[in-house]
């Protein structure tokens, strides 16, 4: 919110830094000694003066102070940690009372944090680690870790944080801690900053011991948060002070709010702290005002976003996207169903193939057995032909031959049956495959025809099935893959349109909120302008009364001059004196003409210079009094002569 309302400021508007503001404030109360202060350098100096360079705002330097009287003073940012209340600050600004009469001891804060809580330690460690990874990674181990902690590393972190805060010792030198003295100096400075935690030499000397790790990470996280809060309240970087509004009332206001913000920060009250930030921005918004050009540009931008949101093309695209999404879901379900059917059919075909393989193996075995039987018969025939056998042997051989003939016939018949079964299995497998392919292609083509009306590009995805081709399934799979790529393209386009729509909605909401804030600021500015106009009217009225009084005095002097002229006419003897009086009279008339001309010009400039009315009035009255004195002296000289 810090930049709303004054981003289009004129280039002629002079920016005033918080440093100049504090210097002007210090000149108003030069006689006031302000105890307990840490002068802080500006944010622009703190980044380049880390080597120990001097800088900052010095208020009421006292070279005779000892080190024990080093005090905490006005910050370069509104987060100053002074030890007196805003009411005391205001009274000192006006009365110039001695600082010793109202100096108070620092108020003690109860630490609201539970340092022993594991969750707190984890969050604090992450906060410190992420801060130094971004701002100063060379301090960390390998540029990313704060464990294991060493004393040298701990001192480097503290020096960096104090340097960012811009804390100066005696208003001149930046605070730098060394290994030999940090055990004594760090508690002193943290007490000045009103750190709520406990700082002892025991854990300062052993920062790497796990027992004292909560105290170490508690101190570092507190300083990191203080740096973030200070950056939030950096008036010099975030706000442009109006050149004609460096006044004591604004100083008191920003000081009070800074002290309240510091108390909320120490107490851990985030909601109150946010409300306070909003109040400060609104106050500055009331002071700085808003230009009509900025309001006009914001309103035009809001109207443009509204038109984009209500664009019929976008709305039609969204409707078509919803329909396509539904059709895609249906198509995906059908595709999945077809894939499942194909898998089942493939399993059935594999079973048939395994059966046919087994049948072929059985046929081969039977053929082998037939061949063996034939060979055995031939062998027996040769034996019979070459050898003399008995009748009984012949009978046995005939029986065996008949038995083998029967067995050969049976095996031949079984082989024929297996061949028929294999051919049937092949026919069934081919029929099942063709049926699955046809069903899948028909269902796919029906879905494509339904979607062609919305997406003409789908017409090229029709599947023409050739059952005699060997690559039917491969071509179908390629078609499905190309269709899926097209689907992904449409899904990405629809997603981008939806993201743009959501982003435009968010932008419109943000602009509406900004417009509401600007309208509130305009109302406050109008009420303030009306109040200022009333005050100006009262000032102009009082100024008119004073002008009337001065006019009456001039009339009286004119009457006196007329009387003197009558007396001078009666003195005929002194001609030379008469001539001198006439010349003086002419000079007085010229002076009166000049006065009238001056008043005419002044009335023309009253409306433009109403802010400097008191100083102008004083200068005019001084001039009138001076001229009246000259007239009196001239009259007295003429009377004496």
Tokens of 523: 């109302």
Residue 152 CB neighbours (<10 A):
10
Kindly tell me the burial class for residue 11, based on how many C-beta atoms sit within 10 Å of its own C-beta (0-12, 13-18, 19 or more).
exposed
Tell me the pLDDT tens digit for each residue of 532-580.
Answer: 777 777 777 776 777 777 777 777 777 777 777 777 667 565 677 667 7
- Determine which helix (DSSP H) or strand (DSSP E) holds 174, and give its type and residue range: strand 173-174
Cis amide linkage into residue 389, ω under 30° from 0 = no
Q: What angle do CA 623, 626, 629 make, to 5 degrees?
A: 150
User: Could you state, in order of their start, the residue ranges of all structural domains in the chain?
Assistant: 1-289, 312-486, 513-640
pLDDT at residue 76 in the model: 36
- CA-CA-CA-CA torsion for 254, 257, 259, 264, nearest 10 degrees? -150
Q: What is the DSSP letter of 15?
A: P
Can you tell me the distance from the alpha carbon of 612 to that of 605, in angstroms, rounded to the nearest whole number? 11
pLDDT at residue 234 in the model: 57
Tokens of 311: 């664009």
pLDDT at residue 405 in the model: 76
Helices and strands in the chain, H and E counts: 17, 2
Can you tell me the distance from the alpha carbon of 447 to that of 283, in angstroms, rounded to the nearest whole number? 65
Tokens of 320: 């078509």
Kindly tell me the burial class for residue 221, based on how many C-beta atoms sit within 10 Å of its own C-beta (0-12, 13-18, 19 or more).
buried
Alpha-carbon distances of 501 from 311, 405, 448, 512, 533, rounded to whole Å: 10, 89, 29, 16, 47
Cβ 179 vs Cβ 151: under 8 Å: yes
Say if domain 1-289 classifies as CATH 1.10.357.10: no
Which runs of consecutive H residues, i.e. helices, occur in 455-471?
none
pLDDT at residue 450 in the model: 66
Cβ 490 vs Cβ 455: under 8 Å: yes
Can you tell me the distance from the alpha carbon of 228 to that of 33, in angstroms, rounded to the nearest whole number? 30
Residue 509 CB neighbours (<10 A):
11
Residues in the chain predicted with pLDDT less than 50, given as ranges, are 1-108, 235-246
Phi-psi label, residue 465: left if phi above 0, alpha if psi -120 to 50, beta otherwise: beta
Q: What angle do CA 460, 463, 464 make, to 5 degrees?
A: 115
Can you tell me the distance from the alpha carbon of 266 to that of 222, in angstroms, rounded to the nearest whole number? 9
DSSP β-bridge partners for residue 407: none
pTM of the model: 0.29
pLDDT at residue 263 in the model: 81
Q: Counting every residue, how long is the chain?
A: 641
């Amino acid at each position: 919110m810090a930049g709303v309302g004054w981003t289009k400021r004129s280039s002629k508007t002079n920016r005033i830094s918080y440093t100049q503001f504090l210097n002007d404030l210090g000149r108003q109360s030069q006689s006031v000694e302000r105890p307990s202060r840490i002068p802080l350098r500006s944010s622009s100096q703190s980044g380049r003066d880390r080597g120990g360079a001097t800088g900052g705002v010095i208020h009421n330097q006292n070279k005779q102070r000892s080190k024990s009287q080093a005090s905490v003073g006005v910050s370069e940012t509104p987060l100053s940690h002074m030890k007196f209340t805003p009411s005391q600050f205001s009274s000192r600004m006006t009365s110039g009372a001695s600082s010793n009469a109202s100096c108070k001891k620092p108020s003690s804060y109860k630490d609201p944090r539970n340092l022993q809580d594991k969750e707190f330690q984890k969050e604090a460690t992450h906060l410190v680690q992420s801060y130094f990874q971004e701002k100063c990674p060379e301090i960390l181990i390998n540029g990313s870790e704060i464990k294991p902690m060493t004393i040298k590393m701990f001192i480097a972190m503290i020096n960096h944080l104090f340097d960012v805060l811009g804390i100066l010792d005696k208003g001149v030198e930046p605070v730098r801690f060394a290994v030999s003295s940090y055990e004594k100096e760090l508690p002193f400075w943290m007490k000045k900053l009103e750190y709520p935690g406990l700082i002892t030499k025991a854990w300062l000397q052993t920062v790497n011991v796990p027992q004292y790790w909560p105290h170490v990470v508690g101190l570092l996280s507190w300083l990191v948060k203080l740096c973030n809060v200070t950056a939030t309240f950096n008036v010099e970087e975030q706000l442009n002070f109006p050149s004609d509004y460096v006044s004591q009332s604004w100083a008191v206001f920003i000081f009070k709010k800074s002290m309240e913000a510091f108390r909320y920060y120490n107490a851990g009250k985030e909601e109150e702290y946010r409300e306070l930030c909003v109040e400060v921005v609104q106050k500055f918004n009331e002071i700085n005002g808003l230009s009509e050009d900025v309001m006009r540009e914001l309103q035009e931008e809001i109207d443009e976003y509204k038109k984009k949101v209500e664009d019929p093309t976008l709305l039609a695209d969204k409707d078509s996207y919803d329909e396509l999404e539904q059709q895609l879901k249906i198509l995906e379900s059908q595709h999945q169903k077809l894939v499942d059917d194909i898998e089942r059919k493939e399993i059935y075909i594999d079973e048939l193939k395994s059966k046919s393989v087994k049948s072929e193996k059985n046929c081969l075995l039977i053929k082998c057995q037939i061949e063996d039987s034939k060979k055995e018969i031939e062998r027996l025939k040769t034996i019979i032909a070459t050898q003399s056998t008995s009748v009984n042997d012949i009978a046995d051989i005939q029986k065996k031959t008949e038995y083998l003939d029967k067995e050969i016939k049976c095996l031949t018949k079984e082989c024929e049956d297996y061949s028929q079964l294999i051919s049937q299995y092949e026919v069934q497998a081919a029929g099942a495959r063709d049926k699955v392919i046809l069903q899948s292609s028909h269902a796919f083509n029906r879905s494509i025809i339904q979607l062609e009306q919305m997406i003409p590009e789908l017409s090229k995805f029709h599947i023409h099935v050739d059952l005699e081709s060997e690559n039917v399934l491969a071509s179908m799979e390629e078609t499905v893959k190309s269709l899926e790529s097209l689907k992904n393209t449409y899904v990405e386009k629809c997603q981008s349109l939806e993201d743009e729509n959501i982003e435009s909605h968010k932008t419109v909401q943000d602009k509406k909120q900004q417009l509401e804030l600007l309208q509130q600021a305009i109302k406050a500015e109008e009420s303030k302008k009306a109040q200022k106009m009333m005050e100006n009217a009262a000032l102009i009225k009082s100024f008119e009364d004073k002008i009337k009084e001065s006019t009456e005095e001039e009339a009286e002097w004119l009457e006196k001059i007329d009387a003197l002229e009558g007396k001078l006419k009666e003195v005929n003897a002194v001609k030379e004196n008469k001539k001198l009086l006439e010349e003086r009279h002419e000079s007085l008339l010229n002076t009166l003409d000049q006065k009238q001309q001056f008043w005419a010009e002044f009335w023309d400039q009253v409306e433009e210079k109403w802010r400097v009315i008191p100083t102008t009035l004083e200068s005019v009255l001084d001039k009138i009094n001076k001229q009246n004195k000259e007239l009196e002296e001239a009259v007295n000289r003429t009377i004496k002569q």
